[in-house]
Amino acid sequence: MTSALSRPRLRESVIYAFSTTPRLTEAGLKFETAPAFLALLIQGALPRSEFVIFTGLQSEDASDQLNRLINLGVVVSPPSNPRTLEVGLPAWFAKHILPGLHTSVSS
């Protein structure tokens, strides 16, 4: 489990998940969104404006990608602070970026 949380391993897992997870690809997520999500995952929370900048996409495209992530539950925007983003990490996505989590928790 500890190795899954190392930054290099986490980066590999996130990049791989954004390239291969059917829910993400079918939702139309672009590969450029992966590094922005990784920054959010590592930091725990980010202002919306920083997330948009981290994608490297035009503002409209970045906002569209962010809305797709929110609709999937991968990113959440707390009602108490809608300008801040947090990681949603639904179970279907967590198993892709933390593959050893289920077996570690079950043991």
Is the CB of residue 99 less than 8 Å from the CB of residue 10? no
Q: How confident is the model over 36-50, as a mean pLDDT?
A: 96
Give mean pLDDT, residues 60-82.
Answer: 96
Q: How far apart are CA 85 and CA 42, in angstroms?
A: 12
38 touches 29 (CB < 8 A): no
Alpha-carbon gap, residue 83 to 47, rounded angstroms:
6
Tell which CATH architecture fits domain 3-100: Orthogonal Bundle (1.10)
Q: Which of 19, 21, 39 is nearest to 85 (CA)?
A: 39
Query: Distance (Å, rounded) from C-alpha 99 to C-alpha 78?
Result: 27
Domain boundary assignment for the chain: 3-100
Higher pLDDT, 106 or 5: 5
| pLDDT score of 48 | 96
pTM: 0.85
pLDDT digits (tens, 9 = 90+) for 76-106: 999 999 999 999 989 999 998 987 665 544 4
Cα 38–chain centre separation: 6
Instruction: Give the pLDDT band (50/70/90) at residue 2.
Output: low
In the predicted structure, residue 44 carries a pLDDT above the cut 50: yes
| Amino acid identity for residue 29 in this structure | L
SS3 23: helix
